[in-house]
Structure formats: structure tokens, C-alpha cells
Amino acid sequence: MYCVKEPITEHEQIREILGEEFASQTAKVIDHIDDHCRLWIERSPFLIVASSDAKGNTDASPKGDPAGFVKVLDAKTLAIPDRIGNHRGDTFFNLLENPSIGLIFIVPGRKEVIRINGQATIARDIELREMMKVNGHQPDLAIIVRVQEAFFHCGKSMIRSGMWQPDKWPSVDGLPSYAQALKDHGALPDHIEDLENRMSHNETDRLY
């Protein structure tokens, strides 16, 4: 196990290294969804949901759907549908213990992202689930987020990663398939061909 030789343990150490805060970056945080944020959320087909349990164990989960799948109910409230998944429920179990939630909304082709922090409730309200139907299927659950902070985050990470520049993408040759990773990490007895077929079925027939 790697041993950290120069740990940072104080706020002052971080501030000394980073330098003074930029006024534009502290003033940009608002406590609601304004028109700029609403338009961005309505164009976003993908977000990352961060949560943690009462002990501080953290999780980050991807959510994706056609753009507009996250509903802006009002200036302080978002609704996120839960689609058919892996049945783990990590985010839900975390939120039952600790309602704090963090979101990152990504719009393909744009360098910037929107970050939202708030408090979440797990809901079964039928009217909410009806409005989030896709292909005739309504989600079984929804996450309601009470917005506390909303702000745009600059595009440096996207620029550095070359996320939207195919010529900068690394080769995928030699990467394990999802089925191979499941088999090896879980020491599963299944034949790899059977797992590959199940994964293919999962991706084509179990989206909604």
C-alpha cells in the first residue's frame, strides 16, 4: 500500500498552495435554478449523482436518458427518474441515511458543466413518475432534490481530457469487456459467452 510522504492536514495549507479565491468563482454560486441552469438541465442527457451514507462511505453513480429526463419542478426542486438497473440501490440507501446529494450535469459538445448540491428525498408520487415515462415505461422511484447550491463549472477538465475530440480519444483495444470484468472480479462460474449474451440482452431489452 502506498504511503503518503507529504500529507496535507490543514485548511491553511490548501489555501496557501491554491492562492486567494477568485471573486467570480465565489460569487457565481446561486441557491436556485434560474433560466440559465434550467436550459442546461433540459439539454443534458447525462449526469453524475454523488451521495454518502451516515458513516461517510461515498458513491458516485451515472444517470443517462434522453435530454430533459431530469425535470425542473420549480426554482428550488428537481426530479430525477430511476430506471431499470443493477438492483444495488446504492444511492437510495445512502440517501435514507444522509440526504445530502451532489449532481454534475453534462451536455455533449460543451466544455462546461453545472454542479448542484442539495438535500434529497426518495419519492413514489404517481404524477411525478407519469411525467417521466419513456417508451411507455414509468420509473419505479424518483429522487427529489431541494436545491441549495447551483453553479457553472469551467471547461478546463473537458479541454484537458479531449472529451469531445475523437482524435484525442485513447484506444479501447485490449480493454476488458463488462462481462469479462464481472466474471473475474466476482469469480463467477458462468461461461464468458453466456455472460456476454446476458450483457447484450441487458443493454438492448432492459433500458426501460
Q: Could you give the CA distance from residue 50 to residue 47 in angstroms, rounded to a whole number?
A: 10
Q: What angle do CA 129, 134, 137 make, to 5 degrees?
A: 65
User: pLDDT tens for residues 125-138?
Assistant: 999 999 999 999 99
pLDDT score at 60:
98
pLDDT score at 100:
98
Q: What confidence tier does 114 reach under pLDDT thresholds 50, 70, 90?
A: very high
pLDDT score at 178:
97
pLDDT score at 148:
98
3-state per-residue secondary structure call for the chain: CCCCCCCCCCHHHHHHHHCCCCHHHHHCCECCCCHHHHHHHHHCCEEEEEEECCCCCEEEEEEECCCCCCEEEECCEEEEEECCCCCCCHHHHHHHHCCEEEEEEECCCCCCEEEEEEEEEEECCHHHHHHCCECCECCCEEEEEEEEEEEEECCHHHHHHCCCCHHHCCCCCCCCCHHHHHHHHHCCCCCHHHHHHHHHHHHHHCCC
pTM of the full structure: 0.94
CATH classification number, 28-161, choose in 3.90.25.10, 3.40.50.11810, 3.40.50.720, 2.30.110.10: 2.30.110.10
Average of per-residue pLDDT across 26-47: 98
Q: CB neighbours of 14 closer than 8 A, spacing ≥ 6?
A: 8
Q: What confidence tier does 65 reach under pLDDT thresholds 50, 70, 90?
A: very high
Q: Domain segments of the chain: what residues?
A: 28-161, 170-205
Q: Could you give the CA distance from residue 93 to residue 105 in angstroms, rounded to a whole number?
A: 22
Q: What is the mean pLDDT of the chain?
A: 97
pLDDT score at 80:
98
User: pLDDT tens for residues 170-180?
Assistant: 999 999 999 99
pLDDT score at 68:
96
